[in-house]
Chain A
């Protein structure tokens, strides 16, 4: 199975400041169609996960433009340009290039 590793595991951020989360995989997530099969989800407290970014860099419908995804192969980053209070929760990346689809350990973002 592909191993997916996130860092940091905890991320305290002051509102208005940027934030960045790293996701690394043990194998390339580049699919034969040229897309990276790496997605990002946010799980707010007490809620189901919600899709933020798919195929490495595509914002899902309704996701604010302050969220962006980048990277290729085995190294990916989720960036929040200016953190807001509503962004608290646990951020997960997931590889979907092969089954079983594997989530990272999660990064807990909290407001300072």
Chain B
């Protein structure tokens, strides 16, 4: 059974950096992409980027370019998302989601439970 379990809620100060992890189980981790999606309160979800777990390639939304780093630890079957220079607009719920590549379609067939992040002074 596929599981993506994320790290717990975070409270961060403006200007700080956020790191969220996503522990995968129940599937061959290196065969997939892991996407990160965030959702501000009451807003639509927003795609942030993906990492190909097998080779480490990444693709980021231009909106987050320069602030986001996606990494993975294949031995620990864990993906990480780091977001720097936080502002109050980064408050929201951050999700990891599993997907296949372009040929199969970029849809996200399994999601983590979400990590609630509050940025406040």
Q: A48-B95, A100-B63 are in contact. Are A54 and B45 (CB under 8 A)?
A: no
Question: Quick check: which of B8-16, B67-75, B78-86, B105-113 contacts chain A, the rest being far away?
Answer: B105-113
B103 within 8 A of A: yes
A100 to B63: give the CA distance in the assembly, Å: 9
Which residues 50-95 of A have a CB within 8 angstroms of B?
A: 50-51, 54-55, 60-61, 92, 94
Residues of B in contact (CB 8 Å), total 21
- Complex: chain A residue closest to B64, CB-CB: A100
Closest 8 CB pairs of A and B: A96-B106, A54-B107, A48-B111, A101-B47, A100-B61, A39-B107, A103-B44, A55-B105
Contact of A51 among B46, B95, B107 (CB under 8 A): B107
Grouping DSSP codes into helix (H, G, I), strand (E, B) and loop, the A interface class, with mixed when no group exceeds half, is loop
Q: Assess whether B92 is interfacial by the CB under 8 Å rule.
A: no
CA distance A51 to B114 in the complex (A): 15
**Is A7 engaged at the interface, CB distance under 8 Å to the other chain?**
no
Query: Which residues of A pack against B, CB within 8 Å?
Result: 31, 33, 35, 37, 39, 41, 43, 48-51, 54-55, 60-61, 92, 94, 96, 99-106
6 example contacts (A-B, Cβ-Cβ < 8 A) are as follows A39-B107, A48-B95, A50-B111, A54-B105, A61-B109, A100-B62
* Residue of A39, A48, A100, A102 with most chain B CB atoms under a 10 A cut-off: A48
Complex Cα gap A94–B105 (Å)? 12
Q: Which of A33, A51, A100, A102 contacts B109 (CB 8 A)?
A: A51
Instruction: Choose one: A50, A54, A96, A105; the contact of B44 (CB below 8 Å).
Output: A105
Cα of A51 to Cα of B108 in the assembled complex, Å: 7
Q: Is the CB of A96 within 8 A of B111?
A: no
Chain A residues, Cβ within 8 Å of B109: 51, 54, 60-61
Nearest A residue (CB) for B103: A33
Task: Decide yes or no whether B59 CB sits under 8 A from chain A.
Answer: yes
A91 CB → nearest B CB, Å: 11
Residues in B neighbouring A94, C-beta threshold 8 A: 45, 47
Known A100-B47, A104-B44, A105-B44; contact A48-B105, beta-carbon cutoff 8 A:
no
